[in-house]
């Protein structure tokens, strides 16, 4: 045996008893709120001004990735990254119809 520490991992016979699903390790559910508000104003006969505001990820919530479920990894059960969700994004638009 060498002086290096051995990597501890499940043996071949653990494969049949190691669970395929681990109930305590689940990814975050998608919880993103989007909203928009729109209003039209009549300026003259046949001329309308439309104003609209869109908000994406209104609560500015971070979406974490699923935990690592590889039993050989030292990060087993840890969440080590985020998903590519957009931060809060608000945009305003105006449109003139005639």
What does the alpha-carbon distance between residue 79 and residue 72 come to, in Å, rounded to a whole number? 15
* pLDDT score, position 17: 66
Q: What is the pLDDT of residues 9-65, one digit of tens each?
A: 666 666 666 666 666 667 777 778 899 999 999 999 999 999 999 999 988 888 888
- In contact, 43 and 76? CB cutoff 8 Å: no
What does the alpha-carbon distance between residue 12 and residue 72 come to, in Å, rounded to a whole number? 12
* pLDDT score, position 97: 93
């Amino acid at each position: 045996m060498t002086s290096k520490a051995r990597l501890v991992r499940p043996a071949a016979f653990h494969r049949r008893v190691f669970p395929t699903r681990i109930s305590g390790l689940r990814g975050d559910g998608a919880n993103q709120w989007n909203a928009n508000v729109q209003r039209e104003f009549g300026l003259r006969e046949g001329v309308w001004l439309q104003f609209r505001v869109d908000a994406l990820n209104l609560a500015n919530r971070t979406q974490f990735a699923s935990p690592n479920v590889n039993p050989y990894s030292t990060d087993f059960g840890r969440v080590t990254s985020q998903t590519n969700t957009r931060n809060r994004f608000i945009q305003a638009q105006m449109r003139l119809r005639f």
